């Protein structure tokens, strides 16, 4: 599940971006009940984008911001408690990572669902049923 973490430069101390990415990913696996699942752990990929302040906006003007965006299959993040809990925790992680300097109102977390059957891993377009099977087969015993 790709995570795109986009930050205004300086929001997180330089060099701490990968740690924040790791913590956001671990929280996602925990909230979705997949901590320790080798298939899902390997499927967590992503990128970190650091943009200069003049390239990030809020309220139609330059501002420091953070965006946490997951792209997931249709079966992920469907439980309302998971949605609420993860978004709260992810916002708190970014806020804490900024040393409390970035207001929570400038931290946006969202989840984008892929169209059913278009979840591609290793060149294979997987359906939700196929993903569930792969996750189940890799589940720790």
- State pTM to two decimals: 0.92
Domain tally for the chain? 1
* Pairing assessment for the beta strands 2-8 and 66-72 based on DSSP bridges: antiparallel
The burial of 84, by beta-carbon neighbours within 10 Å (0-12 exposed, 13-18 middle, 19 or more buried), is given as exposed
| Residue that has been written with the tokens 């080798």 in this structure | 38
Q: What is the dihedral of CA 115, 119, 125, 127, to 10 degrees?
A: -70
At 109, is the pLDDT very low, low, confident or very high (cuts 50, 70, 90)?
very high
Report phi then psi at 39, rounded to 5. -60, -50
Residues of the chain with pLDDT > 90, as a percent, come to: 82
Question: What is the per-residue pLDDT across 68-81, written as a single tens digit (0 to 9) for each?
Answer: 999 999 999 999 99
Closest CA to 109 of 58, 67, 63: 67
| Residue that has been written with the tokens 């899902």 in this structure | 40
The yes-or-no verdict on residue 62 having pLDDT over 90 is: yes
Question: What is the per-residue pLDDT across 17-53, written as a single tens digit (0 to 9) for each?
Answer: 999 999 999 999 999 999 998 988 999 999 999 999 9
- Domain coverage including residue 110: 2-138
- The reported pLDDT for the residue numbered 141 is 58
**CATH code of the domain in which 113 resides:** 3.30.429.10
Residues of the chain with pLDDT > 70, as a percent, come to: 99
At 54, is the pLDDT very low, low, confident or very high (cuts 50, 70, 90)?
very high
């Amino acid at each position: 599940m790709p995570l795109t973490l986009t930050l205004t430069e300086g929001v997180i101390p330089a060099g701490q971006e990968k740690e924040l990415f790791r913590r956001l990913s671990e929280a996602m696996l925990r909230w979705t009940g997949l901590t320790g699942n080798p298939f899902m752990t390997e499927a967590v990929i992503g990128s970190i984008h650091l943009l200069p302040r003049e390239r990030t906006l809020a309220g139609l003007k330059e501002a420091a911001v953070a965006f946490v965006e997951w792209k997931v299959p249709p079966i992920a993040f469907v439980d309302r408690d998971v949605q609420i809990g993860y978004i709260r925790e992810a916002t708190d992680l970014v806020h804490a990572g900024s040393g409390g300097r970035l207001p929570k109102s400038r931290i946006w977390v969202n989840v984008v669902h892929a169209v059913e059957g278009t979840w591609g891993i290793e060149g294979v377009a997987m359906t939700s049923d196929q993903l569930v099977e792969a996750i189940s087969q890799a589940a720790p015993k």
